[in-house]
């Protein structure tokens, strides 16, 4: 007999007892009270798991919203919802004539700056070579003048030449030395100052022109709005001729072969959520319960919602489940392994005490207990009961300590 039928039978017997009792004479003693029908169950240890439900929306794995990077007018829309696309494939084209002109202008500027750089580099290289040649010539003249000066100086000391002739030789030596030192100084300035400074300025012009060209080419690339990933187009939010601004949503692309549900978990249970944890996902629109796995748990609270974002990946996606559908995630937030637990309705209040009734010698006996948490309709009993003890699970609300009872149903504990 099922639990429901037994309950109805017990209530029927209870009312019969009341009716029979009412028909008795007031002189009947307490010992003559009719026993109260009850059903008992044997207490057993069990594993309890507390679940919480969180709502979310089904999303394609890696689902991304594609936005425009620049302002422009839509020239072509190349895809529609449901199309399968590859990463890099063009979805939408913007008008780009003006940007193309900017690219041509920037490229011309870059090429001019580069030509100027090369020209200056060649000119400076030639100037350095000229100065190096001048230094070598001046050094040769100086060495010859020095040798002649040293020889004539000895002859002058010996009185072999006149002072006038010696002073002429000495002047030639000084002029050669000065020319040599001057040419070396000019070469040093050219190599260590003029060349680096001039080349740096020319290079900066090239880099500036190159940056302008890169920016123009990037703008031209941005007229081609592409898919960042492989996937299926969820929707296209623009049409030909529409003027759009940077940041405006253009399309949504995601991998419908793998889906996820993003939920927001409250702070009282977030610490019990672990990556890799298995969960149950219910998609009511198609009437399916799916297996899922927690793939990410944010360590930061969303300040707007006051909750923590959690992502659940759906393991196997059946046909019919589509992005945007409402889903409920059944999340285990705490567990109580191998605990003594009884149906929560078995624990009742008597004289400010929590009691559970058992049957002893045909009478109800109240047993004081210390209840723990209630999970899934069962209350954990931390103290007061022992495994295997038979307790009243139906009819207890009519009992008092010592009341006569009749066991009309017995089942083993769950």
pLDDT at 16: 55
Q: What pLDDT, on the 0 to 100 scale, is given for residue 106?
A: 94
Residue 38 tokens read as 């009850």
Neighbours of 342 (CB within 10 A): 25
Q: Which residues belong to CATH 1.10.287.1490 in the chain?
A: 97-222
Q: What is the mean pLDDT of the chain?
A: 88
* CB contact at 8 A, 244 and 57: no
Q: What is the pLDDT of residue 192?
A: 93
Asked if 219 and 70 touch (Cβ cutoff 8 Å), the reply is: yes
Model confidence at 257, in pLDDT bands (50, 70, 90)? confident
Nearest to 321 by CA among 285, 297, 373, 296: 285
Q: How confident is the model at residue 412 (pLDDT cuts 50, 70, 90)?
A: low
Q: What is the pLDDT of residues 19-52, one digit of tens each?
A: 444 444 444 444 567 899 999 999 989 999 999 9
User: Which residue ranges does the chain devote to CATH 2.40.420.20?
Assistant: 3-48+337-411
Which pLDDT score is estimated for 255? 81
Residue of 139, 145, 143, 177 whose CA lies nearest to 153: 145
Choose among 211, 253, 248, 207: nearest CA to 91.
Answer: 253
Contacting residues for 142 by C-beta, under 8 A, at least 6 apart = 176, 177, 179, 180
Q: Does domain 97-222 have CATH number 1.10.10.10?
A: no
Is pLDDT of 355 > 90?
A: yes
Q: What are phi and psi of 302, to 5 degrees?
A: -75, 115
Whether residue 349 has pLDDT greater than 70: yes
Query: 213-245 pLDDT, tens per residue?
Result: 999 999 999 999 999 988 889 889 999 999 999
CATH fold, domain 3-48+337-411, is 2.40.420
pTM of the shown model: 0.54
List the structure tokens of 252. Answer: 């949504």
pLDDT band for position 411 (50/70/90)? Answer: low
């Amino acid at each position: 007999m099922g639990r429901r039928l037994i309950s109805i039978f017990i209530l029927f017997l209870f009312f019969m007892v009341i009716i029979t009792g009412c028909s008795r004479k007031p002189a009947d003693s307490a010992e003559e009270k009719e026993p109260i029908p009850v059903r008992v169950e044997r207490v057993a240890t069990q594993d309890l798991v507390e679940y919480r439900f969180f709502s979310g929306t089904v999303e394609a794995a890696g689902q991304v919203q594609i936005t425009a990077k620049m302002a422009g007018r839509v020239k072509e829309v190349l895809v529609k919802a449901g199309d399968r696309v590859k990463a890099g494939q063009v979805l939408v084209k913007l008008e780009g004539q003006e940007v193309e002109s900017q690219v041509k202008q920037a490229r011309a500027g870059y090429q001019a700056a580069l030509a100027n750089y090369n020209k200056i580099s060649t000119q400076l290289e030639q100037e350095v070579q000229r100065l190096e040649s001048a230094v070598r010539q001046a050094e040769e003249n100086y060495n010859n003048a020095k040798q002649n000066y040293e020889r004539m100086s000895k002859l002058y000391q010996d009185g072999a030449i006149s002072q006038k002739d010696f002073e002429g030789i000495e002047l030639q030596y000084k002029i050669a030395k000065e020319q040599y030192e001057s040419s070396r100084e000019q070469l040093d300035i050219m190599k260590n100052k003029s060349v680096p400074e001039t080349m740096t300025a020319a290079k900066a012009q090239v880099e500036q022109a190159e940056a302008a060209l890169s920016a123009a080419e990037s703008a031209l690339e941005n007229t081609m709005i592409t898919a960042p990933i492989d996937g299926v187009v969820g929707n296209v939010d623009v049409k030909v001729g529409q003027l759009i601004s940077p940041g405006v949503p253009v399309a949504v692309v995601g991998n419908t072969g793998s889906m996820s549900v993003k939920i927001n978990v409250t702070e009282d249970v977030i610490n019990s959520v672990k990556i890799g944890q298995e969960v149950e996902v219910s998609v009511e629109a198609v009437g399916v319960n799916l297996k899922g796995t927690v793939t990410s748990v944010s360590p930061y609270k969303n300040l707007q919602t006051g909750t923590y974002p959690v992502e659940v990946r759906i393991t196997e996606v059946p046909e019919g489940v589509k992005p945007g559908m409402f889903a409920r995630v059944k999340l285990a937030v705490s567990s109580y392994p191998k605990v003594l637990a009884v149906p929560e309705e078995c624990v009742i209040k008597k004289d400010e005490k929590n009691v559970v009734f058992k049957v002893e010698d045909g009478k109800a006996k109240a047993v004081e207990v210390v209840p723990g948490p209630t999970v899934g309709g069962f209350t954990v009993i931390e103290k007061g009961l022992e495994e295997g003890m038979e307790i009243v699970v139906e009819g207890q609300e009519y009992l008092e300590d010592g009341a006569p009872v009749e066991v009309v149903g017995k089942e083993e504990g769950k």
